[in-house]
Amino acid sequence: MRILTEAIEVATEVTKALAERGGRAADNGVSLPFLGSMAAWAGDGDHVDIGALYGASAITVALVKKRLGLKGDVYCIDPYDAETRDRRVVGTGLSSPVSATKEELLKNAEFFGVELKLIQKLSHPWPEELKDNVFATAYIDGDHSGEGPMNDFLNLRGRVTDYIGTDNMEEEYPDVVRMVLFAAAQDDWQLFYKNFIFVALRKTLPSRGLSAGNYNPAEE
């Protein structure tokens, strides 16, 4: 996947501005250029961001879409409750701010001139408000432990038409690694791209799908 200059510029701006505004981008924004490029390559369509925190990932996607003239709304799913947040980040030794609020998320979006549609809930069970939505792209960056990453993939699997990105595919998060390896072994999703800790999964193209129904070894 080619990394777009626009995505690098947006990622740099968002990471810097959030730090100046008293927040932060997760992992200092290292995955944001890859996420922004993934969303751009999908073209028009809605995006869903699981785990929004101060909004770095969701704002990056919204701003890249805006600057490239791509259509589509950006949804965020995050409960913004202290217990969920602390389970994920407290004890990791982070010295940067972790206590984001939904007000900070929405103010940060306003600062960048983009709109985010927040569903203030856990991503699993899948929110009722989004039960009929279809997304071009999604980003998994919420609960990285236990069944969290797998539940997110299973919930998104049939609702996303192009790419599912995930953060933190690294040894520190074995349940994210397990989810990505599972997803990439399925007929309907492929491992598209990995750079550092970011992974993009691509929906299998109908013409390339090797299902029992259309694969004929005699044709090779």
Ligand X SMILES: C[S@@+](CC[C@H](N)C(=O)[O-])C[C@H]1O[C@@H](n2cnc3c(N)ncnc32)[C@H](O)[C@@H]1O
- Contact between 4 and 42 under an 8 Å Cβ cutoff? The reply is no
Q: What string marks each residue from 62 to 81 as x (binds ligand X by CB under 6 A) or -?
A: ---------------xxx--
Q: What string marks each residue from 147 to 186 as x (binds ligand X by CB under 6 A) or -?
A: -x--------------------------------------
Out of 9, 19, 68, 88, point to the residue binding ligand X (CB under 6 A): 88
Answer yes or no whether residue 140 interacts with ligand X by CB under 6 A: no
Of 50, 61, 64, 1, the closest CA to residue 201 belongs to: 1
Neighbours of 106 (CB within 10 A): 15
Answer yes or no whether residue 123 interacts with ligand X by CB under 6 A: yes
* Bridge partner list, 49: 76, 139
Q: What is the largest CA-CA distance in the chain?
A: 62
Out of 17, 67, 68, 84, point to the residue binding ligand X (CB under 6 A): 84
Cα–Cα distance, 103 to 48 (Å, whole number): 19
Segment near ligand X (CB under 6 A); pick from 106-114, 136-144, 178-186, 212-220:
136-144
